[in-house]
Structure 1
Amino acid sequence: MAHPNAPLNQVVQQYLDYLAYNKRYSPHTINAYARDMQRLIETLEDQGHRTWADAQADTIRDAMVTARKTHLAPKSIQRILSSWRSFFTYLLQQNLVKLNPVNGIRAPKSPRKLPNSLDPDQISQVLNATIASDDPMAMRDKAMLELTYSCGLRLAELASLNVFDIDLTDASLIVTGKGNKTRQLPIGRQAIVALKLWLQQRGQLKCYDANALFINHRGQRMGLRGIQMRMANMAAAHGQHIHPHMLRHSFASHLLQSSGDLRAVQELLGHSNISTTQVYTHLDYQHLAKVYDKAHPRAQEKTPLKEKPNHD
């Protein structure tokens, strides 16, 4: 155990050894911690501190101000604060400090990135493509695409679907989402057609999982990675880039553009908090802005040059 007055570097090395030998962290993770600790050492030394007990909340806040001035990304600052907080927790356990100066200090929030989505024509280009009637896997892939876009499913929700979750007569399905919460969703007409064709083919295949709605060529339930790859390949064959989450985002934005009913979209997506769904209002605004710029006669007019003042 290091002495409370031990050099800063010595205590850090002890901590890194602890992470390597006790926590079994990977060399890559250890290197990341080492860089964060070096930044912390420089912060303390710049303020004339010689021991870790000298570090106070103001020390950490000043370091955050400096990080922002150097245009460090919010995610990087969040990671650094997390590293420092873990380090001071370790120092508390070793009785080298009496408080954790990082506690209570919040990192800047990362700007919320708007989800990527496709326009209806791009999706139709893939979904309306002719599928070979003698290729059951292609029929399965189309059914997965249609169902994901029709219901706005998460990838994990799609993969976990069972045959008995689908009610073709009622054109609905029961899906289990995050937090083990279930919700009932309507299924669109085209998705129903695709599902019926796939279920006919599925009944003729070897199946080692009687419940799984979507199975692979070995008769086992489709995995997450397998679904992603099959969707990507099908889309690429028609000049598009599609992944399950993009279909979910497209479902939400297209529905909101048509209905304007944020609450309904929230229920369909299975969001527990409407603030999560509100990101699609930004997508909706972007869509409206593009329509305005393209269609409104005043949006395209060039601003006339101001007349020069007459000083005569």
Structure 2
Amino acid sequence: MRDQLDRFISHLSNERKLSANTTSAYRTDLEQFNQFVVDRGKTAWEQLDRDDVIAFLIFLKERRYATSTLARRTAAVKSFSTYLHAQGTIPVDPTVDLDSPRVDRSPPRSITVNVVDDLLELPLASSGPEALRDKAMLELLYATGMRVSELVALDAADVDLGGECVRCGGAAKSRVLPIGGSTVTALEEYSDIARPQLARGNRQAESALFLNHRGKRLTRQGFWLILKRYAEK
């Protein structure tokens, strides 16, 4: 059963071109579904039926998962079931006409310019290369509106300080974003002073623009931990 699950995840990544974050979420949700079905005595996906799917959704609701989590896991199960049916593994898709929980999305709360200004200045209250790195990251995010995943994926070569622009988005959806003023200054200070220290003088250091304290590419999770720390100050 795990082999078919692995093939489905590969299908999402290689054929549907879903992001690594999305495929990771699918894997987590479907591994829980897989274990639930096994616990019900099923030994192959050919035995999957609508009762298994309904029982799984009831199981999730009884554990009081958030509506957004229920909706995501329902979508994962439906997508996997559709895949199994298309592959001829099951004769009938047991999720046909199965409704997903409705997620009420509240509008995001905006923050004032003063709060943003305070956040941009928080790294300067500390010293060391990490402070200059954090200042550069926050300035770049604020100036361009790029995604965090795009920020941490940047290589040093993607930044053109002389031309006051940065290239992001990868080869398929690459775009050039203008930068200037305090953003250029922050990036210059980080690139000239802090990044060499974080790279620890290693000539084979990461090509990544933003490095962690081990000289490796900063991850998306690492960035959110940094931002959370500043938000709590």
TM over 0.5: yes
CA 1:101–1:135 in structure 2 vs 1: closer, same or farther (change >3 Å)? closer
CA 1:37–1:188 in structure 2 vs 1: closer, same or farther (change >3 Å)? farther
Output the amino acid matched with 1:193.
T
Output the amino acid matched with 2:136.
A
**Deviation (angstroms), 1:113:** 4.3
Equivalent of 2:187, from 178, 195, 208?
A: 195
For residues 126 and 81 of structure 2, the distance between their equivalents in structure 1, rounded to whole angstroms, comes to 58
Output the amino acid matched with 1:219.
G
Cα-to-partner distance string for 1:107-156 (whole Å, 9 max, x where unaligned): 46534443444222111112134726851111111111111111111112
Aligned to 1:181: 173
CA 1:197–1:235 in structure 2 vs 1: closer, same or farther (change >3 Å)? farther
Cα-to-partner distance string for 1:248-271 (whole Å, 9 max, x where unaligned): xxxxxxxxxxxxxxxxxxxxxxxx
Equivalent of 2:131, from 133, 138, 142?
A: 138
Aligned to 1:279: none
Aligned to 2:219: 223
For residues 120 and 76 of structure 2, the distance between their equivalents in structure 1, rounded to whole angstroms, comes to 44
Residues 93-242 of structure 1: pairs in structure 2 closer than 5 A = 93=89, 99-100=92-93, 102-103=95-96, 107=100, 110-129=103-122, 131=124, 134-177=127-170, 180-202=172-194, 204-205=196-197, 206=200, 207=202, 208-209=204-205, 211-237=207-233
CA 1:214–1:78 in structure 2 vs 1: closer, same or farther (change >3 Å)? closer
Residues 1-312 of structure 1: pairs in structure 2 closer than 5 A = 19=1, 26=31, 29-31=34-36, 37=51, 40=54, 76=70, 79-80=73-74, 83=77, 86=81, 89=85, 93=89, 99-100=92-93, 102-103=95-96, 107=100, 110-129=103-122, 131=124, 134-177=127-170, 180-202=172-194, 204-205=196-197, 206=200, 207=202, 208-209=204-205, 211-237=207-233
Structure exhibiting the larger radius of gyration computed from Cα positions: 1
SS for the counterpart of 2:124 is coil
Does structure 1 retain, via aligned residues, the 8 Å contact 2:123–2:131? no
Using structure 2 for the length normalisation, give the TM-score: 0.60
Output the amino acid matched with 1:232.
K
Does structure 1 retain, via aligned residues, the 8 Å contact 2:165–2:176? yes
Does structure 2 retain, via aligned residues, the 8 Å contact 1:75–1:110? no
For residues 20 and 173 of structure 1, the distance between their equivalents in structure 2, rounded to whole angstroms, comes to 42
**Deviation (angstroms), 1:21:** 9.6
Using structure 1 for the length normalisation, give the TM-score: 0.47
For residues 113 and 26 of structure 1, the distance between their equivalents in structure 2, rounded to whole angstroms, comes to 30
Output the amino acid matched with 1:202.
A
CA 1:34–1:110 in structure 2 vs 1: closer, same or farther (change >3 Å)? farther
For residues 110 and 133 of structure 1, the distance between their equivalents in structure 2, rounded to whole angstroms, comes to 41
Does structure 1 retain, via aligned residues, the 8 Å contact 2:74–2:100? no
Name structure 2 gaps, 5 residues minimum.
Answer: 7-29, 41-49, 56-65
Identical aligned pairs, as a percentage? 27
CA 1:39–1:124 in structure 2 vs 1: closer, same or farther (change >3 Å)? same
Output the amino acid matched with 2:155.
N
